[in-house]
Amino acid sequence: MIEKTRVLFLCTGNSARSQIAEGLLRDLADDRFEVFSAGTMASFVRPQAIAVMNEIGIDISGHRSKSADEFHDNEFDYVITVCDHANQRCPVFSGAAKRLHWSIDDPVISGDESEQLAAFRRARDELHQRIRKFVEEINA
């Protein structure tokens, strides 16, 4: 049996960027990866994140926001921070996890619904590109 690569995406509230990244990697990598997401503190999954993922056929409506504390005793191959705040406050995980940092702009902005959704789409699309490249590099 092939061992799966374990990846944790981490951001501040586990409400948008890390949730989107988790959904994207699960979709792109099938069963080659075990994928998790968490925040430096738990909050809620933003409806805009669910909406922009639904636009590309990925359902994250069943996700829940989790604190990194829930994963303290887990081992990961990669811990990927997707916001600068989480990068500065990233907890230490046991094992030999490789830390990566992707500075993705916060999609939570003021403005009307269309402006907010546009910001979430930009975050989703940038994460999609980075995750595609990440998967290619891991599988090379």
Catalytic residue check, 140:
no
Provide φ and ψ at 89, rounded to 5°. -115, 20
Q: Give the Cα separation of 13 and 29 in Å (integer).
A: 24
Per DSSP, 31 falls in state T
Q: Is the Cα dihedral 63, 133, 84, 73 positive or negative? A: positive
- From the list 52, 82, 83, 119, the catalytic residue is 83
Catalytic residue among 7, 10, 11, 49: 11
CA distances from 94 to 8, 21, 43 (A): 13, 22, 24
83 is catalytic: yes
CA-based radius of gyration for the chain? 14
- Is 9 in a helix, a strand, or coil? strand
The question of whether 90 is a catalytic residue gets the answer: yes
Catalytic residue among 28, 90, 100, 118: 90
Q: Which residues contact 72 (CB under 8 A, 6 or more apart)?
A: 91, 93
Q: Which residues belong to the active site?
A: 11, 83, 90
